[in-house]
Amino acid sequence: MKQASLLPARDQVAEILRKSIFTGELERGQELTQEKVAEELGTSRMPVREAFQILEREGILTIQKRRAIVQGLTIDDIVDHLEIRAMLEGEAAARANLKGEKFEDIKLALANSERAALSMDVFSYVTANEALHRAIWAASGSSRLENFLNYLWTGVPPHLPALLPKQMDRSISEHQNIVKAICTGTSDEARDNMIYHIRRSIDDLIKHHKDIASDKTTS
């Protein structure tokens, strides 16, 4: 796992652990202790303890006193999670189109993601990608929908570019289509483009998961 000395918050520690579980670096049945994780990530035990609690609520870990047992993420868990996200984000995109406001925030986030992709800056792209999605949620005008999507965003690693750098080119093209549909198209076009974008990501995740399993079998 990567050092987290600059990212000590519980949510950031949870994201590091979540990604490590997703990629198979931390395997099902593996035991984690607060002390060891805190030492590896360069942080105190408090955010690690709180991160364990977050991941236990998501069903990814089981806590036993000061240690946790990795339960893992099945491919079915991931697909189900992202299918729900696709439906809700599709609705957010449709509502943003109908609302007809806050397009400038959406366009700015898209421009930032395009610049990051051109320079192959994965970290900046991940940040801009999240900003774009959140700008669309905000433009939907529904705080309840925003809250649901915020939970789903943090529940399963949404940052595919960090896992699959080649994802950026495909995502940029899809983001451009989504933004065009929101700003100048119809609500149905906005919804369909967003749903397509997330469901295509599901296909990439499935392939990535199968590749990991294949590598473990042949190694």
pLDDT score, position 2: 45
- Assess contact for 32 and 39: CB atoms under 8 A: no
Q: How far apart are CA 36 and CA 34, in angstroms?
A: 6
Return the CATH number of the domain spanning residue range 10-70. Answer: 1.10.10.10
Q: Would you call 61 exposed, middle or buried from its count of C-beta atoms within 10 A (0-12, 13-18, 19+)? A: buried
For CA atoms 83, 206, 173, 120, give the dihedral sign: positive
CATH topology of domain 75-218: Four Helix Bundle (Hemerythrin (Met), subunit A) (1.20.120)
Q: How far apart are CA 96 and CA 107, in angstroms?
A: 13
The pTM of this model reads 0.75
Q: How far apart are CA 14 and CA 4, in angstroms?
A: 11
Which stretches of the chain score pLDDT less than 70?
Answer: 1-9, 155-166, 209, 211-219
Q: Where in the chain is the domain with CATH 1.10.10.10?
A: 10-70
User: By three-state DSSP, how is residue 1 classified?
Assistant: coil
Alpha carbon distance, N-terminus to C-terminus of the chain: 21
Q: Where in the chain is the domain with CATH 1.20.120.530?
A: 75-218
